[in-house]
Structure 1
Amino acid sequence: MLNPLRPYSARMRRLLRLAEPDFMAGAVESWQIAPADTHRVYPASYLPGQIDRIRASVFASLTEAISVLTRDGEERESPTMGWRFRDIDLVDGVLYRDGAEFHLRNRARRFGFAFQPQQAISGALYETWTTNRWFGSWLMEALAAWPLAQQSGHALTTAVAPRSGSHAARYEKLLGVVPERLSGDVHFDELILFGDQANNADKIRRQVEIRDRLIAGRNIVPVPGVFLLRGKGGDLRYLQNERELADRLANERGYLVVDPMAMTVDELMNVCGGARVITGVEGSHLVHGIIAAPAGAAIVPIQPPDRVAATLKGLSDRLGQRFGLVVAEGNDTVFTLDWHDLALTLDLFD
């Protein structure tokens, strides 16, 4: 059963500034689920001077983020991996093995050491800290990894059941996602984790299958583009002239302007499934559009200069979509974008 000393030993290691052991190195078995391969990638389309506006990035170093956005040619993609562990404890969102830890979510308890009643179980987790932190990451990564856990025979998640009528609940319904949900502290007799970051052929296949299932049976009508409003929802990334840009796209280019929070998943799939362009402030809400838009569609996130992210580029690559880079002026939370910068960037895809 759960070993009460493991969280304390991990905390003591940090206090003593000792090197952190590699959690994956403790696997009793590792295997290749899908092989490495080579994937053709195309650079983002952007106007002169846009790269120079980028001051900081998230989820990767500035150099790595710019590389992902601008690389052109054949890229070697890593394999999809599986790791099997024995005798693992899950305490307050953190996995522990002797001397090592792996975080799945932020701790709810200050020190994470006040043990609750536990169970012993075996199975496969398809989540990560990132997918538990951001809805967009869950939508584009956890749902793609779900089939891997499902194939193991016992798919598990620490995420609570989504609220009835929520976007997450509908996505799970449409995609047949029915994991066993864990609550409290748990001891794993056996645990399987996955390494599924690479855009190899198998992940591309799974992502395309998700799109096909989400738009199956719908009467999809082509539209020039969809602008997905963000406003001040979620983590603050406020485009001050968002409504002005949206209105001009609607009036001058025939774009549909939608508020994802005011629409159901089915409405979003119907609207975005035929969009030639998906645009709006970079963030989780754009993933609704990207995962439904057809191959060849242009994905143009409006990026804050102090918070440029390349993660949506990876998703659009999997779906055979084109990608645009347009960087606003301001900081990471409040910024503006000149209409001509957006309009001329969109013109690159005509």
Structure 2
Amino acid sequence: MGSLSRFSPAPAANRSKWTLAAYLHMARKHLGHSPEILLKSLATTSWDIAPGETTVSPPAFYLPNQLERVTGWEGKRFFPYEHPARTMQGGLSSDHGPTRGYLLKDVWLIDGALYKDNASLWLSIKPTDFPRIIVDHEIERGAVYCTQNGNSWFGTWLMEDCVTYALACNEGVPVTTAPSARFPLFTQAPAYEDWLGMKPLRLRTAFFRELVLFDDLSNNRSRHERYCAMGEKLLAHVPHEEHPGVFILRGGDGDLRFLRNELEIAEHLHNTRGFRIVNPLKTDVPSIVAACAGAHVVIGVEGSQLVHGVNVLKPGGALLALQPPNRFVSYFKYLTDRDHQHFAFVVGTPEGDGFTIDIDEVERTLDLLPQ
């Protein structure tokens, strides 16, 4: 069903197909004539692709008094809105919902947003310019796997959107939004897509006769299996054997989380424990995957760059996140819990425009991990 034979440019008679869907939606919101309607609520049919489940979380590995240093934490999406202590202590029962599909008919894609009747769904951050009124393509049956968060952050794209791609291939032509000058394609995305066998259709405007959308944020068994399958595809491209670990540098990329002694810690672990050091900003994807493959431990400042190592981390392996005290993020613990790996952390102390991490605390936390 995912064959590109299901895609064709709009027929000559329809090539200049016009729509004011975006403008009508903008007018309704501005005038307050209609309440917000979820696009998926207009689905012709919906179904469970995979069942949900309930799990109990294991505790993280950390030294005493670490959590007392936390002064701020992430509160978006499913990150906890409360202090991360309860999450890190484990023993929480979590209900992971089913993976679901939704079939809609006659849907417009206009500059990063989907429209049908008086409902919309943004797949990218809202642009500042005026939306288009002409579409270039007509799709018989498409399946959108990208999300607004995935189009905004590399780590989310690789850990979430790419996992949903496998579902899209089973339901129609896998579709994602086309890059633009304001939202370019992630630099390392083409290489990952090549190794993962991803061949999406990138569009800025289109009319879908049928469109499939997904609920695929639950960390259920289906998502675990698809993520593991991604890792195996990456590992198939490189020779690898087990090694102590890899330190993935963050540097100054993305949201600022400036670990002032980052390189000192990395070089210390290289010298004392044989850890490899990877700078993903200066290394190509094949070299990154080769360095991370087989690692028992992945370590680095909490952030998207860690996904390079988590992608190929085996069950029983561990992730050690170096957390800024004013921005503690629990996201990776949910993934390691799902994928039967261990999660550990060290919280830094503020210093100037960044923070520092005690090397001795890193060593002692590593010693807590199962061998």
- Would the TM-score normalized by the shorter structure come out above 0.5? yes
Instruction: Quote the Cα distance in structure 1 between the aligned partners of 2:333 and 2:56.
Output: 13
Distance 1:53 1:20, change over 3 A: farther
Partner residue, 2:124: 105
Which residue is equivalent to 1:167? 188
Matched, 1:245 2:265: yes
Match of 1:279 among 293, 299, 307: 299
2:74 match: 57
Query: In structure 2, how many angstroms separate the alpha carbons of the residues matched to 1:145 and 1:137?
Result: 11
Alpha carbons 2:239, 2:290 under 8 Å: kept: yes
Q: Which residue of 1 aligns with 2:218?
A: 198
Shift of 1:100: 2.4
Matched positions, count: 348
- Shift of residue 78, structure 1, vs aligned partner: 0.8
5+ residue gaps, structure 1, are none
User: Do structure 1's residue 326 and structure 2's residue 346 form an aligned pair?
Assistant: yes
- 1:37 has 2:53 as partner: yes
Partner residue, 1:130 = 149
Q: Hey, what does 2:167 align to over in structure 1?
A: 148
Q: What's the offset of the Cα at 1:40?
A: 4.8
User: Match for residue 286 of structure 2?
Assistant: 266
Question: 1: distance between equivalents of 2:312 and 2:246?
Answer: 12
CA contact 1:39–1:200 (8 Å) conserved in 2: no
Query: 1: distance between equivalents of 2:332 and 2:27?
Result: 35
Q: Which amino acid aligns with 2:154?
A: F
Separation (CA, whole Å) in 2 of partners of 1:7 and 1:97: 12
Provide the rounded CA distance (Å) in 2 between the counterparts of 1:26 and 1:309: 35
One-letter code of the match for 1:57?
E
Given the alignment of the two structures, is residue 22 of structure 1 paired with residue 42 of structure 2, yes or no?
A: no
Q: Which moved more, 1:205-214 or 1:315-324?
A: 315-324
Shift of 1:17: 9.6
> Deviation at 1:118?
3.4
What is the percentage of aligned positions where both structures have the same residue?
35
Mapped to 2, the partners of 1:11 and 1:234 lie a distance apart of 35
Please report how far the alpha carbon of residue 247 of structure 1 lies from its aligned counterpart in structure 2 after TM superposition.
Answer: 1.8
Q: Which residue identity lines up with residue 223 of structure 1 in the other structure?
A: H
Deviation per CA, 1:185-240: give whole Å up to 9, x if none: 22222211111111111111111111112112643222211111111122322111
Q: Structure 1's 69 and 100: CA in aligned 2 closer, same or farther, altered over 3 A? A: farther
- Deviation of the 1:134 alpha carbon: 0.7
Q: 1:62 to 1:76 in 2, by over 3 A?
A: closer
Q: Deviations over 1:115-171 (max 9, x none)?
A: 344333230010101111111111111111111000113111114499999532221
| SS of alignment partner, residue 42 of structure 1 | coil
Gaps of at least 5 residues in structure 2 are 1-16
Q: Select the residue among 113, 118, 129 that pairs with 1:94.
A: 113
Q: How far did residue 263 of structure 1 move?
A: 2.1
2 CA distance for matches of 1:164 and 1:29? 32
Q: Which stretch shows the higher mean deviation, 326-335 or 209-218?
A: 326-335
> Could you say what secondary structure the match of 1:62 adopts?
coil
SS in 1 for 2:281: helix
Deviation at 1:48, TM superposition (A): 2.1
Secondary structure in 2 matching 1:295: coil
Runs of at least 4 residues of structure 1 off by over 6 A? 161-165
- What is the letter of the counterpart of residue 120 of structure 1? E
Q: 1:326-345, aligned counterparts within 5 Å?
A: 326-330=346-350, 334-345=354-365
**Structure 1 length normalisation: TM-score?**
0.89
Aligned mates of 2:207, 2:69 — CA distance in 1: 48
1:119 and 2:137 aligned: yes
Q: Deviations over 1:231-285 (max 9, x none)?
A: 1122322111111211221222221112112222222222211111101111111
In structure 1, give the amino acid aligned to 2:39: F
Note closer, same or farther for the CA distance 1:80–1:333 as it changes in structure 2 (3 Å cut).
farther
Counterpart residue number, 1:348:
368
Could you tell me how far apart the structure 2 residues matched to 1:340 and 1:11 are? 59
